[in-house]
Structure 1
Amino acid sequence: MCHAFLHDANFYQLLTRIDESIAEEARARGCDCGGVLHRACYPRKPRGERGVLDESYQRRLSFCCAEDGCRRRCTPASVRFLGRKVYLGVIVVLITALNHGLSASRRQRLIETLGVCVQTLRRWQQWWREQFVQTRCWRGLAGQFLPPILTAHLPSALLERLSGRALSERVVQLLVLIAPTTTTTGSPQAMADPRKM
């Protein structure tokens, strides 16, 4: 099965390590006011493959400025969470990508396995076609691919263009590429509104 990595705890640990690296870079830069950033993580209860997730998936890495009068929050980009979506980023990417190439019965099995309702899938597809393509992140990525990627086939068209041999490698690459859309703070490239995801 091409998406067997969804049941592999090592895959999710890799995503956690990537998020921790991104968060450490944000913490080391500090606040725009010059203050030191302290951990102030958000609690999360992600839907999807909860059986293979460790306790790190119960929080979204975030920081708060220590300076009195500032206290500004800095939430770094993430490869685990797509903004405020309740499903993990890998689930959102994979189900919407596979939707183009799956038979109706295989798509239905995947949706049932991961507990995603059809309305949610449609909302995710709409996000890729309408909101994601308006982000600074996508505008920067789109120019790197020739011939151009058909936005109507996102994210599968983007996954097909990435260089990893295994689907899991390409999914990780895609999650890293779209990470700036997961926050409005902590990254100068972050442009998407995560509350609308």
Structure 2
Amino acid sequence: MWKTGEDACWLAFVLGDKFFSCLQEIDQEIARQVARAGCPRCGGPLDRSDYDRKPRGDRFIAATAEPPVRRISYCCRREGCRRRRTPPSVVFLGRRVYLGAVVIVASASALLRRTTACPPAQVPPADVPPAEVAPAQASPRRTPATQVPARTLGRWSRWWQTELPVTGLFVALRGLLASPVDAARLPCSLLERLTGSAVEQVTALLKLLAPLSTGSVADGARFLRSAGA
């Protein structure tokens, strides 16, 4: 479980090939569902038209891992339409250059660091395998535990606490919960509601946020359900 006490303050995953493979399988299945539905504008078939991404977040990526560098996307085949349709993704959170998992973990770690008195050392939760955790490294103008620029973390914090809560997705999710979600503590207040290990909680949150990862598939949640995500 994701912990909000001292043990979680320096939590920092090292994302390996197994983690990426799991997320990519989910993305592939979501993409298949989107392709089957065809073009929402003209009903034409969709052709793969992926584009390159250069994801950041080396602090959280294992040296031997190969993070995804292609964003799955489609284009309508019919001339005169050619509308792009980019499926929801659990790998990429919108147009951010950092991987979605990095956005979640770095944001949560930074929030916990601000709100919890922690010793300057990493003490990972007992249920997170050592291979998935790495010691913090210092860097100028970057938050030591995350290696993400402070300005970027601040921008993410504003998104979590002011922009996400007013989205239709979050409003609908909040209506399903028995007690209110503390917007000032996002993403931690959502992670705490999810079951499983810390890695499983991060994966589950990526699935919840996936409909927000694209602007060309308005009914993204439906495709996630169809994909069993």
Query: By the TM > 0.5 criterion, same fold?
Result: yes
Which of residues 105, 118, 121 is equivalent to 1:94?
105
Contact 1:137-1:189 within 8 A present in 2 as well: no
Q: Distance in 2 between matches of 1:105 and 1:131?
A: 31
Which residue, out of 27, 52, 58, partners 1:43?
52
What is residue 109 of structure 1 aligned with on the other side? Answer: 136
Residues paired across the two proteins, number: 188
1:100 and 1:114 map into 2 onto residues whose CA distance is: 11
Shift in Å, 1:146 = 1.7
Residue 127 of structure 1 corresponds to which residue in structure 2? Answer: 159
Evaluate the alpha carbon distance shift between residue 128 and residue 22 of structure 1 in structure 2; reply closer, same or farther with a 3 A threshold.
Answer: same
- Match of 1:15? 23
> Partner amino acid for 2:20?
Y
Match of 2:38, as an amino acid?
Answer: G
CA contact (8 A) 2:34 2:87 kept: yes
8 Å CA contact 1:38–1:66 kept in 2: the answer is: yes
1:8 shift after superposition: 2.4
CA apart distance, 1:106: 5.1
Aligned to 1:31: 39
Partner of 1:144: 176
Contact 1:37 1:66 in 2 (8 A): yes
Q: Which residue of 2 aligns with 1:173?
A: 204
Q: Describe the SS at the equivalent of 1:47.
A: coil
**TM-score normalised according to structure 2 size:** 0.75
Task: Output the TM-score relative to the length of structure 1.
Answer: 0.86
Which stretch shows the higher mean deviation, 128-137 or 60-69?
128-137
1:158 is aligned to 2:198: no
Q: CA RMSD in A?
A: 2.3
Question: 5+ residue gaps in structure 2?
Answer: 1-6, 123-134, 138-142, 222-229
Structure 1 gap segments, 5+ residues each:
191-197
Shift of 1:135: 1.2
Moved more, 78-87 or 136-145: 136-145
**Which residue of the partner structure matches residue 193 of structure 1?**
none
* Structure 2 Cα separation of the partners of residues 22 and 75 of structure 1: 10
Amino acid at match of 2:44: G
Quote how far apart the aligned CAs of 1:7 are: 3.4
Q: Is this contact kept in 2: 1:128–1:155, CA < 8 A? A: yes
Compared with structure 1, are the counterparts of its residues 67 and 92 closer, same or farther at alpha carbon in structure 2 (3 Å cutoff)? Answer: same
Counterparts in 2 of 1:136 and 1:52: CA distance versus 1, 3 Å = farther
Alignment partners' CA distance in 2, 1:15 and 1:114 = 21
Judging by fraction of residues, say which structure has more helix. Answer: 1
Residue identity matched to 1:24: R
Deviation at 1:113, TM superposition (A): 6.2
Does the CA-based 8 Å contact 1:47-1:88 persist in structure 2?
yes
SS in 1 for 2:75: strand
**Which is higher, the Rg of structure 1 or of structure 2?**
2
**Aligned mates of 2:31, 2:65 — CA distance in 1:** 19
> Which residue is 2:90 aligned to?
79
